[in-house]
Structure formats: structure tokens, C-alpha cells
Chains A and B, each alone.
Chain A
Amino acid sequence: MLDAFAGAAGLLLTGDPTLTHIVGLSLRVSLSAVLVASVLALPVGAALALFRFPGRTGVVVLLNALMGLPPVVAGLIVYILLSRAGPLGSLGLLFTPQAMVIVQSLLIFPIVAALTRQMVSDLWVEYREQLTSLGASRVRAIPSLLWDARFSLVTALLAGFGRAVAEVGAVLIVGGNIDGVTRVMTTAIALETNKGNLSLALALGVILMGLTLAVNAVAFAVGEFSRRRYGV
């Protein structure tokens, strides 16, 4: 284990361009996926919190269940869609970082949407009378509630990011682990493990965990700062 930490430090200190690219791609793909998923999941989650319609309970249960969507299944679905033999084949997106963004967005969407629904529901209990009194319709209340829940929602986004950046099965299928193009931290770790380079794989794992830790620490710090400034 100590070797792994020493190896990780060594890799980082040498500033190996391959490693830099892999780390950068992991961050870019997973952060993009968080953004793409959130643009859709935040309003959907909020709408589920505010509106009552037939089948709403079913949608909520489905969304909660999809938080456990097996990544390999997500990968397979996106592979079939993006394959040249599939319906979206003409886009030529298979084995590209964009395909990885798509599959990770698919994995993140239920998490962000379900957590958003929960958080916005709680906030709506508190805000409902006041917003109605100020003259906000429910549709108009959605962006207001999302904005006022922003500090809690960061947690939802981080949960999504964590799932995306740690995932290997889906990105392997739709990305192909192509050196310099679609190789990210997790697929690189899998590859090095398969080569029997266990210490190198572990060193990469340490870097990945450090990366996740850093992202969470930054988000936590920003959240705490803002919380103190704006009150809970």
C-alpha cells in the first residue's frame, strides 16, 4: 500500500503527459456529464416536487430505482444506440469522449433528479405560502426554489460526479479505452490491472481517490463559505 502512495506521488511529480491527459479527460468527461445531466435533472426533479399529475408516484419510484441502474446496462444501451448499426450510428459518436459523456449523464440523471425532488420538496414546504403570496406561479417557483436550494443541491451534483468519475463498465463499452482518446482513470486502472501491473494500477487508484477528494473538498469549502454568508 505504501508503495502505491509512493508510486502515485512519483507519477504526479514527474508530470507524465500521458497521465496528465488521462486525469484531464476523466475530469472533463465527468464534469461535462454532471452539467449535461443537471441541466435536465434539476428542472425535472423540481417539477416532480411541485406538480401533482397521474402517474407521478410511478415516475418517482422509477427514478429512485434508476439510481441503481447498472453501469454496464447503461453502457450497453448507449452502445446499441450509437453503433453504426444502431439508430444514432450516423452521428459517429461511438468510441469518443462525447459517448462517455452521454453514458455518464444517463447514470447521473436519476441521482440528481431524485435528490433534487427530495430537496425541493422540503424547501417547498417552507416556501409555498410565501412564494404564492409574492405572486409566483408554480412554474415560476421552480427556478427560485432551485436557486435557493443551491447549497444542498451541490451535494446532489457531487453524488452524481462521484458515480460518474468512479465508473468503469459503461465508459469501457462506449469509449473503448482508446489510448490518448478515451482512456480515463478507471479504464487505465483496469488495463494496468490486466497487465498485472498491480502497483501502478493502485497508484492510479490513489490519484483517482485524491482527485475525488479534492473536488469534494473544494465543493465543501465553497458550500460552507456561502452557507455562512447566506445563512442556512
Chain B
Amino acid sequence: MSIDRTILPIELQQVVFAPRDQVLLGPINLTLGAHARTVIMGANGSGKSLLLRLCHGLIAPTSGVIRCGEQAGDPQTACIRKRQAMVFQRPVMMRRSVRGNVLYALRLRGVRGSRAEQLTQQALALVGLEALAKRSARVLSGGEQQRLALARAWVIRPEVLFLDEPTASLDPDATTAVEAAVQRFAEQGTRIIMTTHSTSQARRIADMGIWLDQGQVTQHDPLVRRTL
């Protein structure tokens, strides 16, 4: 991984997302990534996932600017290729082994060979999947798949990791395991930006909370963290 210039902070200026003239999000002015762990909260349809996808660069704002670090990135490509990654609520497991999924993410960033093997091993160890490395990814349980998605996202050592309701479809034990992995990533220096609709999860994880309602930021406050 080359030493890129930092993509922090992520700055949204007057960002609006309005496909077919229907405003789903914005206008939003927001600076993200200043805190180690940020959660975005709101009801279903409040625009949490859209905000994450805009920041990640999966969708382009209808108007406004998203800056990654100092320069304004082309949101379609530039931001996404930089040092950030995302984990979806229902991540797609590629039809490969657990190891193969992580190696694939590295290969897309040009990391191969023994270095890739080493990074993969570390990432799998961090989420507790090293014993399942040779198993096919698609036969894992939901919780295991989500942990693999975390490892696959984190293995490129992103500066920022976006998590879109990563535990929404998991049972309590799997949720605990995922939260633990997220905490370990944060301890390794990765900024976490995560959506959730669970206030208790927000308190367990985050030190900064953003509340969205109908596409608007309604509150932006530090949270008092509860220890696990």
C-alpha cells in the first residue's frame, strides 16, 4: 500500500442527493473523520445509507462537493480508490474461499504474493476466522460472513471504514463478535463511520453521534461511551 496523502477529513459542502428531482438527502454540511468512531443514527428512510454511499463514492451527489482530505475528489472513482473501505449490511461473498475473498481485495489494490498472504492472515486473525481460511465463503454463517466482510474491508488498512448497519441481520452473539472486531480495527487506528438504528449499539461503539431525519442532519453530538 503506497503512502497516499490522507483522505481525512471528509468534508461535505451543500451536498444534495436528488435523483429524478426528488430530494432524498440534503442539503448537508458535515465534516467526518475527526473522531475515532462515529455513528450515524436515524429511522429507516432517514438517509443514513445514502450518506454513507455518498461518502464512500458509490453514488454521486446531485449538487454540492465532497472533499477527501485536501483535494476535491471525483466521487465516482477517486475517493473510493483511496484509503477507505465499506462493509454492507448484507455483504456479497464472492464464490471463493474465505482466504480468496480477502486476497481478492488485496489484488485489486495491487498487493500480491507473500505480502498479501501475510496481510490476509493478520486480517483473518483479527476477526477470528483463521481456522476457516480454506472454507468456501458462501457456506459460512451470517455472522461469520459479516466478520469476513470486515476482514476483507480492513485488510487494505483503510484510513476510514464505513459500516452500513453491519449487525442488522445478525443474532446477539454474532453482533458481539462483529462489534469486538470493529473495536479492534479502531484500536489499530482506522476511523470508523457506522450507521445503526440501535441507540445502545451506538453507545457501545461510538464517541460521536450524528442524527439524521428525512435527509437532514438534526443533531451532531459527542456520545458518552459505555464500556462493554
**Interface of A with B (CB < 8 Å)?**
126-127, 129-130, 132-136, 140, 144, 147-148, 150-151, 229-232
Contacts and interface: CB of A to CB of B under 8 A. Distances in A.
Nearest to B82: A135
For the side of the interface on B, what is the size category? 20 to 34
B58 A129 contact: yes
B74 to A, nearest CB: 13
Interface string B129-142: 00000001111000
A135 B104 CA distance: 10
Given A230-B136, A231-B138, A127 B92 contact: yes
Contacts of A132: 58, 80
Interface of B: 56, 58, 80-81, 85-86, 88, 91-96, 104-105, 108-109, 136-139, 152
A148 B80 CA distance: 23
B48 to A, nearest CB: 16
Interface secondary structure of B, over-half rule? mixed
Contacts of B81: 135
Contacts of A147: 95-96
A127 to B, nearest CB: 6
Interface secondary structure of A, over-half rule? helix
10 contacts: A129-B92, A133-B56, A133-B85, A134-B105, A144-B104, A148-B96, A229-B139, A231-B93, A231-B138, A232-B138
Given A140-B108, A230-B136, A231-B136, A134 B152 contact: yes
B86 A148 contact: no
- Considering the complex of A and B, which 9 residue pairs feature the smallest CB-CB distances, nearest first? A231-B138, A130-B92, A230-B136, A148-B95, A231-B139, A135-B108, A133-B86, A230-B95, A134-B105
B96 A230 contact: yes
A203 to B, nearest CB: 42
Given A132-B58, A134-B85, A229-B139, 12 more contacts: A127-B94, A130-B91, A130-B92, A133-B88, A135-B81, A135-B105, A135-B108, A135-B109, A230-B136, A231-B95, A231-B138, A231-B139
